[in-house]
Structure 1
Amino acid sequence: MRYITDIQSYQGKKRTAVTLGKFDGLHRGHQKLIEKIKEYAEKNCESVVFAFDMGRDCLMTNEERRNKLEGQIDCLITCSFTEELRTMEAERFIQEILVKKLQVKYIAVGADFRFGYEKKGDVRMLASFAAEYGYQLEVVEKERYKGRVISSTYIKEALSQGAVELANTLLGYRYGMAGIVEHGRQLGRTLGFPTMNVAPEKGKVLPRFGVYACRIKVEGIWYEGIGNVGVKPTVSDERRLLTEVYAFAYHADAYGKKAEIEFCTFERPETTFSSIEELKKHVEQDIAYGKAFFEEQRVESQEADRQKPAG
């Protein structure tokens, strides 16, 4: 997959199948659009995701979005919201970006897609120029869950309530974060529960503060565990936001290594305990909860496999 951060540097030998939007989270609705351009690109086109700047408070960093799309499409173009782009009239965007630069042959967007100066461009405008510029427009129906349109806003609402299982359903994969394992106060090690501290990137949306059953990937291997999202109020006055993970079966030194974290289910809110002894007691309960959760997941998976028809 080619990755381009400046539309002017795009060079293509084929016409393109394009979808456009912020693609924050790459949720099931976004995946539906991407499948459309991939399918059309089989007709000797290049599949292109044209992703606008996600702004602040994002479900994904640019790196996470890029990694998620790697191997799925031919080209990802990320476009910062420059003054030139902000003031570009919608018709000019069609002419100069879609037609002249991208040589577009097929466009897939949702019904509410807006573009151009003051967001005056919409699907009706795209349709009105389709014959003149020789491209096909497909307006893709929104993906819904229990009657509500799946959107980044919906997912952020779920995360703010700690409803990560709902968020994961809307996304089509487990929500998470990534970062470098930092040195901490090593209190967890003293208590017998050595943890990995990972700080989120600036602007990255995290779920509600609290304890979660989670998975953490270190050096290419996934480990089950529990994680606390928050500021560790019982043991620290810094109020620094961290995700602190205890992996049940990881016993090596992870400092300085990259880690990926997936949130599986919410257990309890972050709490200030009256003593370290009380904290230790609750961590032991958290670990028991996390182990029971993953064991139940394995049992359910095995049962589902048994019920599949043979051959």
Structure 2
Amino acid sequence: MQVINLKYPVVASQIPAGPIVLALGFFDGVHRGHQRVVATARQAAQAQHAKLAVMTFDQHPSVVFQHADPDHVRYLTTVAQKTTLMAELGVDILYVLHFDAAVGALPPQTFVDELIVDLHAQTVVAGFDYTYGPAEIANMQRLNDYGQERFEIIEVPKAELDAEKISSTRIRAALDDGQIDTANRLLGYQYETAGEVVHGEARGRTLGFPTANVAHGPNTRVPGIGIYATMVLVGTEWVMGMASVGRNVTFGDNRPVTVEIYLLDFHADLYGRNVTVRWGHRMRGEVKFAGADELVDQLKRDEQATRDYYHDHPFHAAPRLLDVTQVDSLEES
């Protein structure tokens, strides 16, 4: 897959020759609804013998429109993660457009002329609620007016699961509430985060459960407080782990939230190393125990529950995404 970073105004020499089918969206999370958009575009590209291209943004539009701090906007997927997932979906060209004030101020006609037509799009595919400016004038219903018959338009209807729309907003809410199982169903794959192993209080070592304290960056959305079955990528090896997102309330009140992971059957020093965490299942909430002995007993049960989960749900590193037949089987409104 070719990744092309764009900044407005686009330099024509950056755009490969030849017609494309262009899928549009921010695609935060590349969830099951997004997968349907890309799968629809892929089918059109194959039918038209054209390349499949996707255009996304490098940062959320709220950074421009709501003056959000770009260093603290929490995403479901980084650009790097989004790139990996798009490659799995069979995308040929991924355009990553820098979303700044200039892009945010573009009139809808200019957006269409310079960021759709000038990319050689012969077909445009997007979700029913995609906008490219103010929603009242830059929506999918108006796209044909601005397109002036220069490209075909495929509008992908709403995808639902459990009679509710699949959306990045819904997934963020599920994650914040610790509902990783729900989030994973909506995503169509198991959620991932990445961080650096840093020094913690080393209390787990004294309890017989030494943990890796994983520090995540401010742009990462970590699942809510709870105890989780996870797989952790250390170098090239995936290691089973039980993760605690919480405040260690057994040892005091008003403590900061940390992510501590006990890696099963793994004993190497991880300090300073970057790891990837794949969040499989929430086992329980955080509990304040009467003392260390009670906590250790629970940790032993958590370890067994982690092993049981991965025995019943064998881990596969890749591919992460649903196949297209599963995407197509989602409920539609």
The answer, yes or no, to whether TM exceeds 0.5 is: yes
Q: How far apart in 2 are the matches of 1:203 and 1:120?
A: 31
SS of the residue 2:200 aligns to: coil
Q: How far apart in 1 are the matches of 2:136 and 2:271?
A: 46
Between 1:79-88 and 1:110-119, the stretch displaced more is 110-119
- Residue 32 (1) aligns with residue 49 (2): no
Q: How far apart in 1 are the matches of 2:274 and 2:85?
A: 17
Q: 1:200 to 1:257 in 2, by over 3 A?
A: same
Residues 231 and 238 in structure 1, CA contact (< 8 A), matched pair in contact too: yes
Partner residue of 1:120?
137
1:25 is displaced (CA, Å) by 0.5
Deviations 1:113-135 (A, max 9, x none): 111256621112212244x3521
What one-letter code is carried by the residue in structure 2 that aligns with 1:177?
T
Between 1:33-42 and 1:271-280, the stretch displaced more is 271-280
Partner residue of 1:16?
20
The aligned runs of 1:1-311 (5 Å cut-off) are 1-7=1-7, 8-9=10-11, 10-42=14-46, 43-52=48-57, 53-54=59-60, 55=62, 56-70=73-87, 72-100=90-118, 102-117=119-134, 120-130=137-147, 132-235=148-251, 239-298=255-314
SS of the residue 1:5 aligns to: strand
Q: How far apart in 1 are the matches of 2:18 and 2:49?
A: 7
Question: Tell me, which stretches of 5 or more residues in structure 2 are unaligned?
Answer: 63-72, 315-333
Between 1:176-185 and 1:26-35, the stretch displaced more is 176-185
Q: How far apart in 1 are the matches of 2:24 and 2:136?
A: 14
1:189 is displaced (CA, Å) by 2.2
1:236 is displaced (CA, Å) by 7.3
1:181 is displaced (CA, Å) by 2.0
Q: How far apart in 2 are the matches of 1:278 and 1:44?
A: 64
Aligned residue pairs, count: 296
1:237 is displaced (CA, Å) by 7.7
Higher RCO, Cα 8 Å, sep 6+? 2
1:274 is displaced (CA, Å) by 4.2
Residues 17 and 106 in structure 1, CA contact (< 8 A), matched pair in contact too: yes
Normalized against structure 1, the TM-score is what? 0.86
SS of the residue 2:300 aligns to: helix
Residues 231 and 280 in structure 2, CA contact (< 8 A), matched pair in contact too: yes
Question: Tell me, which stretches of 5 or more residues in structure 1 are unaligned?
Answer: 299-311
Deviations 1:226-263 (A, max 9, x none): 10113334457894443211121222222232211112
Residues 211 and 266 in structure 1, CA contact (< 8 A), matched pair in contact too: yes
SS of the residue 2:113 aligns to: helix
RMSD: 2.2
Residues 200 and 242 in structure 1, CA contact (< 8 A), matched pair in contact too: no
Residues 18 and 104 in structure 1, CA contact (< 8 A), matched pair in contact too: yes
Normalized against structure 2, the TM-score is what? 0.81
Q: 1:236 to 1:65 in 2, by over 3 A?
A: farther
Q: 1:50 to 1:257 in 2, by over 3 A?
A: same
Residues 25 and 60 in structure 1, CA contact (< 8 A), matched pair in contact too: yes
Residues 108 and 146 in structure 2, CA contact (< 8 A), matched pair in contact too: no
